[in-house]
Amino acid sequence: MNPAGLIIAAVAAGALLMTNKTGVIAPTSPVSSRFDDLFEKYGTKYGVPPEWLKAICMNESSLGEHPLVQKGLASEDGKSWGIMQLTLPTARDFEQVGIDELNNPEISVRIAAKFVKRIMASFEVVDLRYLEWVVKSYNQGVRRTMQERAGQSPGYAHEYWVRFKRNLKRLGY
């Protein structure tokens, strides 16, 4: 089965649960946002489960509710923008954009979906920690995640991963 056609959700025990896109197990999300159509549109287009994009957005900007994001300002560290909190170098790996474009939710979600798709290709879907590596890579980069995976670095995205799992649970997965 094509990994892009799977919805992989973390469950409380940290195991992976796989269902197909027909939503056999996938419930309706109890947390709605004005960006749900964008998560669905670009998740589907790029083969990224929309729930992953939404849970990442919950981590990054509280679904666009973070005050700095609402004002179109940079993150607290001054390095990222928009609802998906992308850095300019990362975003420019996919599209020629500036800060104003990153503050556009549609562009932010579209580029984030492309980014997650590229990250997904960096790991084997059969790895029991596949989702963890993908999510941590969004936050700390693939290189650092590969080092963490090999035991060469502790990484720094553990709390990010914990929040992502909590967000997926809030979304009903």
25 domain-assigned: no
Contact of 64 with 34, CB cutoff 8 Å? yes
- Specify the CATH number for the domain of residue 155: 1.10.530.10
In 3D space, the residue among 141, 165, 166 whose CA is nearest the CA of residue 153 turns out to be 141
| pLDDT at residue number 34 | 95
- For every residue of 81-145, DSSP letters joined together read ETTTTEEHHHHHTTS---HHHHTSHHHHHHHHHHHHHHHHTTS-TTSTTHHHHHHHHHHH-HHHH
pLDDT per 10-residue tile (average), the chain, 173 residues: 37 34 45 94 98 98 93 92 97 97 97 98 95 98 97 95 97 92
| pLDDT at residue number 27 | 45
80 domain-assigned: yes
pTM of the model: 0.83
| pLDDT at residue number 31 | 82
